[in-house]
């Protein structure tokens, strides 16, 4: 990303130099992002609010996980009315003097129109009410917000993570593109902008600084810092930086930022995000609160912790030779501590052993030797190395550096948030695209609370939910187009299907400017996603079939009995005709038939005889089938699910043992 | 031309009037047969009404055609060139007499040709096959009664019951090269009553057996739709009663016509053919432009006579109408027959009867697309659904006259009349290439390959781009003159 930005900045410079002749302007990274804020997901106030929340939450998770602490995260969004905002920035509320000056001034004509319309509405409603229909509460006529009527929110995110060292706080938050996450590993962040972009946005929309409270573990004080950013210089501008007492021994960070946003339009997105985050991170506890200007719109959602098992933190890894470009090789050479070429190749890349490095150097040409100092390589020689990296064959990178959520966690997450009737999970093996290892996990749920009928797709990349631009995503396309749900006895339209796919990699091949979806063009990923979903389907199919069987078993007798009268009537009808024919001596039948027909003629055998006999037969068959079913699958009607009981401490006294075929129960004696 | 038209309108009105007066409201096709049997005016009136309907349809298609032509905005040059091309072919036409001479030759050779009288039994095939025969009403009744008695006994014995039904799935079908038709192998499945999967079919089968028993006893015929309506509640959809009906005829070992259940009439015939239907003498040259509806009950068709030289089998109504209106059969003595798409049993039986009784060559005129070929294959080798009765239904040795894929270039059909084949078409075409009945004739195979390769199809109507009467006045005579069939 850093290189991309470097490239982007000069191009803007040249443009500027053309239009403004000789005035050469330098643009800081912070300036670049403030002008292109849509790249980082700050397209509009609503999206900005959403992105701010997610950046803060993801930072908090990373921070807690980095010290192997179960995350506890509190997010609060507080709505700030205009007058409150004005008082915050020390601006007096002014009465409107010249009403006609404002954009939302209602002219006489418009007013008449509106009143007429409202009268019509009311009439309609009165009619509807008279007709006994439910009256929709459309009275809340939305008064169009005029221009400049911005909405402000104070977003606070508090975690129990690593915290920031006192002296680093200004630089960690006040300088764009300075970060701790630039190594090669599986990370949650997308650009390494995180909270900094939120800071730029607050600077742009409200001009208010951000507040940070932070303490590292075992630190006796809390650092408090209030700062904003000097966008032109890309340096922090510290207002207050002081130490406060830390009596509770808290560690972690709390960041508070006041920004312009739009809660109404992005409410569902933000809540969805929190919910999906809870699915993929069941070991974290989230508390999400929205404090509205009017208390009746307050929201408070608690996503409880469901497990204590946390995936290991992703390990930093080295680059795979087929995944590097020329610039990256130069950077690695500049950073390396190794002296000669052989050591450089052996230690700075994965999948190159010493023996292999020697072979590679031999292949490079006569001017290369294993002992040559790596920093002295010429530009041409680098190109040669790069070419060889492209052409040579290397072992595939291992996936040891990856940290998937794990089937266990994914399953718990799905169960905890959706409460489905059935769930299946599957973790694929590590695979590789373009030298980057990746791993696909999938979960599939059927039924559940608040789940719409049809496919509900939940996408995760490096354990963060993806909510936007679902249409082009590899998971959506695979689930809707390439899976034949019918063959797994799943009805794509009626069943409540939840598809959860989590992809983790050292490099997620995002598409689109906002990095909101994973392209469908990498066939390794597409096929891994497909097979992971299919594996889940196979697991569910057997369960569904067994449920179906159990259901059929209950229905069998009823369904079979339904047809008995039709059949009996038809058979008896033919027999009657035959008996009539026999009476009039028109036709002769053989002896056995003759006997039967006589009984029919004498009404010894009637329609009800057949009904009775068939009914008995159906009963008998049903009983046989039920017995067969029971011997096959035990007496349970639904698919078996294991349950887990916690063991008790040993200091209880038991009185009685109650025996039954399933288990033994003991009663406590001293309660 | 004009005289029959007014005459027909007159009689149609008369019938409509009579119908209303008698309180018989005629709006469904399957009611016609009953009307023909019982109405005092007899069935000549019925034909008129059908004609009226056919006429309406015809007009609609004609109007559509002309609309399309008007809308086609082409440069002025193109139509002129086409006209020239068409003219070029017209010039090459010899006088009718000369053409007739060539056709007569082929007709004579067809007369002397002895049809192979091989039957399944002669072949000693490795797997046993199931074939059905025509049975009289009494024998059908006897079969049904035997079945019912067995069932009744089984039920009274407390064992429930079920039917052993021959499987009509494609796995149980066999194409026999020597006979050039599909036959049914002897695999059968048992459908017990006390089973969730088969209880419905078994119940429907029992009910159909009872209904057919009644029909045979009273010796009357009904249509499949009539049968369905006798117990809509049980049958639910006509598809269900229809498919069980086929199962029943398979099970009893008789043809479907022996069950006294017929499909509503669909096919039409016109031309130099005279036959007797239920005692009425019918002259198919005097049937106007709509033709004579092919009777669903082939048993009542007798004494076929004809001075035709060939039978022209047409896929579609529109082409049939063109040929009938132009009185093509008077210029070149022939019988023209169509089933309006996929052929029904009655049309196939009728064609088979014409072919065996009159010994005429059969020329097929179908669309140049995979479905045209499929339709030809049904006439020739039978459909998979009715393979148990293929011996009665198939007419081997139909010549593919047109429109063949190679004709598109040969007759310079303009680009705008050719359609690109859809993916489905191409798939059907490729599947057909693997079918035995195409493979056995290298010429047919070659033509189909051309179609799949060029990915172009065209309908018979594409020939209308040279004028509506191009089909009857140039294309067909040219084909006959060149003996251009395979």
- Asked if A29-87+147-303 and A418-544 have one fold, the answer is no
List, in sequence order, every beta strand (DSSP E) within A621-669: 654-659, 664-668
Using an 8 Å CB-CB cutoff, list chain A residues near B151: 571
- Domains contained in chain B, number: 3
B350 with B237, same domain?
Answer: no
Task: Work out whether strand B334-338 and strand A252-261 pair parallel, antiparallel, or are unpaired.
Answer: unpaired
DSSP A647: P
A589 touches chain B (CB under 8 A): yes
How close does chain A come to B386, measured CA to CA in Å? 26
Domain containing B448 — which CATH number? 3.40.1360.10
Interface check A552 vs B, CB under 8 A: yes
Fold of A418-544: Ribosomal Protein S5; domain 2 (3.30.230)
Give me B395's structure tokens: 């007419």
Q: What is the pLDDT of residues B1-19, one digit of tens each?
A: 444 444 544 444 444 444 4
**Co-location of B246 and B382 in the same domain:** no
pLDDT at A585: 67
Q: How far is B247 from chain A (nearest CA, A)?
A: 17
User: Do B256 and B345 belong together in one domain?
Assistant: no
> What is the residue-wise DSSP string for A17-47?
HHHTTT------HHHHHHHTGGGGT-SSHHH
- The tokens describing A50, both together, are 């959403």
B145·A570 Cβ contact <8 A: no
Question: CB distance A575–B148 less than 8 Å?
Answer: yes
In a domain, B121, yes or no: no
Contact in structure between A435 and A323 (CB atoms under 8 Å): yes
Complete DSSP assignment for A248-269: T---EEEEEEEEEE-HHHHHHH
- Shared domain for B349 and B453, answered yes or no, is yes
Domain hosting B276: range is 99-114+265-481
Confidence of residue B43 (pLDDT cuts 50, 70, 90): very low
Model pLDDT for residues A110-133, shown as the tens digit of each residue: 888 888 898 888 888 888 777 765
Which residue does chain B place closest to A587, by CA atoms? Answer: B142
List CB contacts (< 8 A) between A571 and chain B: 148, 151-152, 155, 206, 210
Of the listed ranges A21-30, A459-468, B167-176, the least confidently predicted one is A21-30
- Whether A18 shows a pLDDT value over 80: the answer reads no
Are B414 and B272 in a shared domain?
yes
pLDDT top residue among A393 and B122 = A393
Residues in chain A: 671
Residue to test with chain A: of B155, B191, B192, B204, most A Cβ within 10 A: B155
Partner-chain residue, chosen from B144, B194, B210, that has the shortest CB–CB distance to A560: B194
Same domain, B233 and B87: no
> Which residue, B262, B279, B294, sits at the end of a domain?
B262
Task: State whether B206 and A570 contact (CB < 8 Å).
Answer: yes
Q: How confident is the model at residue A444 (pLDDT cuts 50, 70, 90)?
A: very high
| From A18-32, A543-557, B455-469, the region with the lowest mean pLDDT | A18-32
Judge: A605–B214 Cβ closer than 8 Å, yes or no.
no
- Asked if B235 and B269 sit in the same domain, the reply is no
Q: What is the pTM of this model?
A: 0.58
Residues of chain B contacting residue A621, judged by C-beta atoms under 8 Å apart: 160, 194-195
pLDDT of residue B1: 42
Q: Would you list the DSSP string of A464-517?
A: EEE-S--TT-HHHHIIIII--GGGGT--TTTSEEEEEEEEEESS--EETTTT-E
Q: Indicate whether B486 belongs to any domain.
A: no
Q: How far is A571 from chain B (nearest CA, A)?
A: 6
Inform me whether the pLDDT recorded for A146 exceeds 90: no
Any B CB within 8 A of A579 CB: no
Residues of A in contact with B234 (CB under 8 A): 566
Report residue B268's pLDDT band, with 50, 70 and 90 as the boundaries.
Answer: very high
For residue B336, pLDDT beyond 90: yes
B433-445: pLDDT as tens digits? 888 888 888 888 9
Please state, in angstroms and rounded to a whole number, the distance separating the CA atoms of residues A404 and A528. 15
Q: Which of B195, B230, B262 delimits the end of a domain?
A: B262
User: Does one domain contain both B333 and B397?
Assistant: yes
> Which residues of B are less than 8 Å from A605 in CB distance?
152, 156
Among the partner residues A567, A577, A593, nearest to B149 by beta-carbon distance: A593
CATH class of the domain defined by A321-391: mainly alpha
For chain B, state the CA radius of gyration. 24
Last residue of a domain, one of B222, B239, B262: B262
B59, pLDDT greater than 60: no
Asked whether residue B104 falls in the same domain as residue B164, the answer is: no
Q: Are A442 and A501 in contact (CB under 8 A)?
A: yes
pLDDT given at position A256 = 92
Nearest to A556 among B152, B196, B234 (CB): B196
For all residues of chain A together, what is the average pLDDT? 82
Closest in A552, A574, A592 to B148, CB measured = A574
Which residues of chain B make contact with A578, given a CB cutoff of 8 A? Answer: 145, 148-149
* Shared domain check, B239 and B291: no
CB contact under 8 A, A605 and B156: yes
Do the domain assignments include residue B122?
Answer: no
Q: How confident is the model at residue A283 (pLDDT cuts 50, 70, 90)?
A: very high
| Residue B370 located in a structural domain | yes
State the best of B137, B144, B145, B231 to mutate against chain A, taking most chain A CBs within 10 Å.
Answer: B145
- Domain contains B313: yes
Q: Does A604 touch chain B (CB under 8 A)?
A: no
Comparing alpha-carbon positions, the chain B residue that sits nearest to A554 is B196
Supply the pLDDT for residue A626: 79
- What span, in angstroms and rounded, lies between the C-alpha atoms of B138 and A300? 83
* Chain A contact set for B199 (CB, 8 A): 559-560, 563
pLDDT band at residue B335 using 50, 70 and 90 as cut-offs: very high
Which strand (E) or helix (H) includes residue A386? helix A379-391
Asked if residue A178 has pLDDT above 60, the reply is no
Using the beta-carbon criterion (under 8 Å), do A578 and B148 form an inter-chain contact? yes
Q: Which sequence positions of B are flagged as catalytic? A: 229
Token pair listed for B243? 């498919």
Stretch 621-650 of chain A: residues touching chain B, C-beta under 8 Å: 621-622
pLDDT confidence bin for A12, thresholds 50/70/90: very low
Could you tell me what percent of chain B has a pLDDT over 90? 15
Residue of A575, A589, A616 lying closest to B158 (CB–CB):
A616
Closest partner residue to A574 (CB to CB) among B153, B199, B213 is: B213
Residue pLDDT, tens place only, B341-384: 889 888 999 999 998 888 888 999 999 999 998 999 899 888 88
The lowest-confidence range among A402-416, A433-447, B10-24 is: B10-24
CB-based contact B145 A609, cutoff 8 Å: no
**Lowest-confidence segment of A4-13, A82-91, A654-663 by average pLDDT:** A4-13
Residue B81 has pLDDT above 70, yes or no: no
Claim to verify: residue B103 and residue B156 sit in the same structural domain:
no
User: Do residues B133 and B17 both lie within one domain?
Assistant: no
Q: Where are the domains of chain A?
A: 29-87+147-303, 321-391, 418-544, 560-670
- The yes or no reply on domain A29-87+147-303 and CATH 3.30.565.10 is yes
Q: Using one digit for the tens of pLDDT, what is the confidence trace for B387-409?
A: 888 888 888 888 898 889 888 88
């Amino acid at each position: 990303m850093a290189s991309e930005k470097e490239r982007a900045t000069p191009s803007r410079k040249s443009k500027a130099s053309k239009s403004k002749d000789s005035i050469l302007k330098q643009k800081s990274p912070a300036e670049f992002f403030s002008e292109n804020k849509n790249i980082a997901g700050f397209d509009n106030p609503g999206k900005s609010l959403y992105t701010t929340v997610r950046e803060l939450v993801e930072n908090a998770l990373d921070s807690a996980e980095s010290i192997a602490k179960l995350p506890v995260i509190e997010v609060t969004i507080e709505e700030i009315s205009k007058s409150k905002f004005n008082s915050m920035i020390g601006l007096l509320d002014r009465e409107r003097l010249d009403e006609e000056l404002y954009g939302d001034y209602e002219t006489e004509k418009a007013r008449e129109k509106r009143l007429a319309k409202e009268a019509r509405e009311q009439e309609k409603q009165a009619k509807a009410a008279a007709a006994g229909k439910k009256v929709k509460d459309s009275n809340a006529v939305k008064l169009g917000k005029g221009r400049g009527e911005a909405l402000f929110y104070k977003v606070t995110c508090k975690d129990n993570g690593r915290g920031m060292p006192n002296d680093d706080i200004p630089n960690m938050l006040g300088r764009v593109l300075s970060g701790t996450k630039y190594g090669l590993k599986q990370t949650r962040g997308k650009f390494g902008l995180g909270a900094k972009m939120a800071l730029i946005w607050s600077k742009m929309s409200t001009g208010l600084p951000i507040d940070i409270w932070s303490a590292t573990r075992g630190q006796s004080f809390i650092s408090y810092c209030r700062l904003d950013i000097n966008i032109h210089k890309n340096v922090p501008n510290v207002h207050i930086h002081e130490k406060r007492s830390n009596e509770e021994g808290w560690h972690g960070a709390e960041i508070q930022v006041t920004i312009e946003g739009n809660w109404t339009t992005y409410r569902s997105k933000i809540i969805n995000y929190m919910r999906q985050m809870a699915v993929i991170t069941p070991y974290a506890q989230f508390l999400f609160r929205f404090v509205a200007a009017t208390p009746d719109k307050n929201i408070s959602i608690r996503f409880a912790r469901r497990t204590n098992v946390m995936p290991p933190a992703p390990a930093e890894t080295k680059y795979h030779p087929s995944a590097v470009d020329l610039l990256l090789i130069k950077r690695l050479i500049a950073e390396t501590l190794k002296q000669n070429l052989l050591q450089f190749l052996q230690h700075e890349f994965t999948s190159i052993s010493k023996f292999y490095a020697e072979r590679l150097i031999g292949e490079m040409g006569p001017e290369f030797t294993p002992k040559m100092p790596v920093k002295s390589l010429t530009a041409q020689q680098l190109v040669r190395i790069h070419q060889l990296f492209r052409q040579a064959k290397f072992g595939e990178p291992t996936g040891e550096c990856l940290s998937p959520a794990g089937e266990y966690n994914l399953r718990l997450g799905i169960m905890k948030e959706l409460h489905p009737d059935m769930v299946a999970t599957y973790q694929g093996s590590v695979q590789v695209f373009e030298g980057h290892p990746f791993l696909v996990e999938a979960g599939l749920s059927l039924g559940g609370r608040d789940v719409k009928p049809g496919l509900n797709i939940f996408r995760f990349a490096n354990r963060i939910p993806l909510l936007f631009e679902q249409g082009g995503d590899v998971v959506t396309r695979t689930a809707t187009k390439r899976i034949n749900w019918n063959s797994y006895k799943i009805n794509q339209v009626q069943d409540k299907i939840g598809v959860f796919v989590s992809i983790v990699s050292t490099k997620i091949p995002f598409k689109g400017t906002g990095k909101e979806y994973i392209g469908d063009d990498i066939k390794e990923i597409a096929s891994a996603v497909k097979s992971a979903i299919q594996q889940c389907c196979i697991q569910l199919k057997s369960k569904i079939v067994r449920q179906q069987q159990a259901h059929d078993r209950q229905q069998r007798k009823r369904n079979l009995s339904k047809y008995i009268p039709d059949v009996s009537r038809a058979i008896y009808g033919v027999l009657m005709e035959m008996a009539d024919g026999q009476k009039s001596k028109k036709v002769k039948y053989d002896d056995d038939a003759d006997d039967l027909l006589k009984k029919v003629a004498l009404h010894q055998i009637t329609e009800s005889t057949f009904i009775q006999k068939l009914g008995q037969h159906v009963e008998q068959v049903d009983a046989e089938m039920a017995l067969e079913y029971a011997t096959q699958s035990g007496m349970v009607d639904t698919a078996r699910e294991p349950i887990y009981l916690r063991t008790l401490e040993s200091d209880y006294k038991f009185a009685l043992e109650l025996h039954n075929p399933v288990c033994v129960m003991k009663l406590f004696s001293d309660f | 031309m004009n005289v029959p038209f007014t005459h027909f309108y007159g009689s149609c009105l008369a019938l409509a009037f009579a119908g209303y007066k008698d309180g018989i409201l005629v709006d469904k096709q399957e009611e016609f047969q009953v009307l023909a049997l019982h109405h005092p005016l007899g069935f000549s009136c019925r034909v008129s009404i059908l004609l009226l309907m056919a006429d309406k349809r015809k007009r609609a298609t004609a109007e559509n055609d002309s609309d399309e032509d008007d809308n086609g905005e082409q440069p002025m040059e193109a139509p002129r060139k086409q006209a020239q091309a068409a003219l070029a072919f017209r010039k090459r036409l010899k006088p009718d007499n000369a053409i007739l001479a060539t056709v007569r030759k082929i007709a004579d050779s067809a007369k002397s040709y002895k049809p192979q009288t091989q039957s399944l039994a002669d072949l000693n095939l490795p797997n046993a096959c199931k074939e059905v025969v025509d049975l009289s009403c009494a024998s059908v009744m006897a079969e049904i009664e035997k079945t019912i008695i067995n069932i009744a006994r089984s039920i009274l014995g407390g064992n429930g019951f079920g039917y052993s039904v021959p499987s009509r799935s494609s796995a149980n079908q066999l194409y026999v090269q020597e006979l050039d038709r599909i036959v049914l192998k002897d695999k059968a499945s048992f459908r017990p009553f006390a089973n969730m999967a088969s209880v419905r079919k078994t119940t429907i089968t029992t009910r159909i057996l009872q209904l057919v028993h009644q029909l045979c006893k009273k010796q009357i015929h009904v249509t499949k739709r009539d049968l369905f309506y006798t117990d809509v509640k049980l049958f639910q959809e006509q598809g269900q009663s229809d498919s069980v009906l086929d199962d029943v005829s398979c099970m009893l070992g008789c043809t479907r016509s022996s069950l006294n259940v017929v499909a509503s009439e669909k096919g039409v015939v016109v031309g130099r053919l005279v036959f007797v239907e239920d005692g009425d003498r019918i002259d198919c040259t005097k049937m106007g432009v709509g033709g004579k509806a092919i009777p669903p009950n082939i048993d009542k068709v007798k004494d076929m006579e004809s001075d035709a030289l060939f039978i022209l089998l047409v896929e579609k109504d529109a082409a049939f109408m063109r040929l009938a209106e132009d009185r093509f059969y008077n210029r070149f003595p022939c019988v023209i027959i169509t089933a309006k798409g996929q052929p029904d049993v009655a049309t196939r039986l009728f064609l088979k009867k014409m072919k065996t009784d009159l010994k005429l060559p059969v020329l097929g005129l179908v669309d140049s697309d995979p479905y045209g070929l499929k339709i030809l294959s049904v006439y020739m080798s039978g459909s998979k659904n009715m393979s148990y009765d293929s011996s009665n239904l198939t007419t081997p040795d139909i010549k593919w006259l047109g429109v063949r894929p190679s004709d598109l270039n040969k007759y310079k059909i303009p680009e705008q009349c050719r359609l690109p084949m859809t993916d489905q078409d191409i798939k059907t075409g490729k599947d057909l290439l693997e079918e035995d009945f195409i493979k056995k004739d290298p010429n047919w195979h070659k033509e189909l390959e051309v179609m799949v390769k060029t990915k172009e199809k065209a309908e018979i109507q594409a020939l209308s781009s040279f004028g509506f009467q191009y089909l009857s006045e140039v294309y067909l005579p040219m084909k006959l003159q060149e003996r251009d069939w395979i």
